[in-house]
């Protein structure tokens, strides 16, 4: 069974952390992943830096730009992660835009992911229909779960279609804005969380965007299986580097 599915079966609320590979320093990638697992994080999204990250807010955009300036590439990321499964056992997901994967070759990219132990991909700009018609068989052949995003504006019909072709979790974007844009959830967002929860989809939901502390983590996970934190963690890395990761995670989980 895919590590993502195994993790989703655990009787707990899951914390997933996103960071940009190659930030703050080019060779920090493995150290950050190992530290996050050691401190109780359940899943990690490794951001593949891209020059035009449309869905990302300023914090993640800056970290992505800096990672590219540091020299991060798709090939280098694969090299950095080649022995990651010797030290890390939690699910690892690569989150990135489709263009670098297309340039690398979709089949070759997926094959490399399987080789090093990547469990899934999140590709915000790969249309669901295109994935379903052209790439689904390639992803499945290499044991990769493709995670789709929904927003408050996604139609019920679309959500049901996404649910029908998914086999992991659904990434539930808390609002229609870019990442890092809010602090706390209002009645409208809470109603959206509840509405999706009440649909009783076959795939659990994990909420991302706007989660930065224990309060927002608790609010999000009241109606979902877990929550994803990106911008707040990158701000932490900006201030402290790879030090004090334990402090950040403990603050979210209030351990």
- The 10s digit of each residue's pLDDT in 95-128 is 999 999 999 999 999 999 999 999 999 999 999 9
Task: Give the domain range for residue 44.
Answer: 14-253
Q: What is the pLDDT of residues 221-235, one digit of tens each?
A: 999 999 999 999 999
Whether residue 24 is contained in a domain is answered as yes
Whether residue 5 is contained in a domain is answered as no
Q: How far is CA 63 from CA 40, 52, 102, in A?
A: 24, 12, 22
Dist. CA 104–CA 110, nearest whole Å? 10
Whether residue 3 is contained in a domain is answered as no
Whether residue 98 is contained in a domain is answered as yes
Reported confidence tier of residue 54, pLDDT bands at 50, 70, 90: low
Q: With 90 as the cut, is the pLDDT of residue 92 above it? A: yes
Whether residue 104 is contained in a domain is answered as yes
Whether residue 170 is contained in a domain is answered as yes
Per the prediction, the chain carries an average pLDDT of 93
The tally of domains found in the chain comes to 1
Dist. CA 230–CA 119, nearest whole Å? 19
pLDDT for the residue 55: 57
pLDDT for the residue 178: 43
Encoded tokens for 206: 């994990």
Percent of the chain topping pLDDT 70: 94
| CATH number of the structural domain spanning residue 204 | 3.20.20.70
Reported confidence tier of residue 180, pLDDT bands at 50, 70, 90: very low
Q: What is the pLDDT of residues 186-225, one digit of tens each?
A: 889 999 999 999 999 999 999 999 899 999 999 999 999 9
> Three-class SS of residue 121?
strand
Q: What average pLDDT does the segment 3-13 reach?
A: 98
Whether residue 2 is contained in a domain is answered as no
Phi, psi of 55 (to 5 degrees): -85, -5
What residues are labeled active site?
45, 56
Whether residue 190 is contained in a domain is answered as yes
């Amino acid at each position: 069974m895919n590590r993502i599915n195994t993790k989703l079966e655990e009787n707990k609320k899951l914390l997933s952390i996103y960071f940009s590979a190659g930030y703050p320093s080019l060779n920090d990638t493995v150290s950050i992943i190992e530290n996050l697992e050691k401190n109780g994080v359940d899943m990690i999204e490794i951001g593949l830096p891209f020059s035009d990250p449309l869905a990302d807010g300023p914090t993640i955009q800056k970290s992505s730009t800096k990672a590219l300036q540091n020299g991060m590439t798709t090939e280098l990321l694969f090299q950095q992660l080649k022995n990651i499964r010797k030290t890390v056992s939690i699910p690892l997901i690569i989150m990135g835009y489709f263009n670098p994967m297309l340039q690398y070759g979709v089949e070759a990219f997926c094959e490399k992911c399987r080789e090093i132990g990547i469990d899934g991909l999140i590709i915000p700009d790969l249309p669901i229909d295109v994935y379903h018609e052209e790439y689904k068989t390639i992803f499945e052949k290499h044991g990769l779960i493709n995670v789709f995003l929904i927003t408050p504006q996604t139609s019920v019909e679309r959500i049901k279609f996404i649910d029908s072709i998914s086999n992991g979790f659904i990434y539930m974007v808390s609002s229609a804005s870019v990442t890092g844009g809010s602090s706390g959830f209002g009645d409208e967002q809470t109603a959206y969380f509840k509405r999706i929860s009440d649909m009783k989809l076959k795939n659990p939901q994990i909420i991302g965007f706007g989660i930065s502390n224990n309060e927002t983590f608790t609010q999000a996970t009241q109606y979902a299986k877990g929550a994803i934190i990106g911008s707040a963690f990158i701000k932490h890395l900006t201030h402290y580097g790879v030090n004090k990761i334990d402090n950040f995670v403990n603050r979210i989980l209030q351990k």
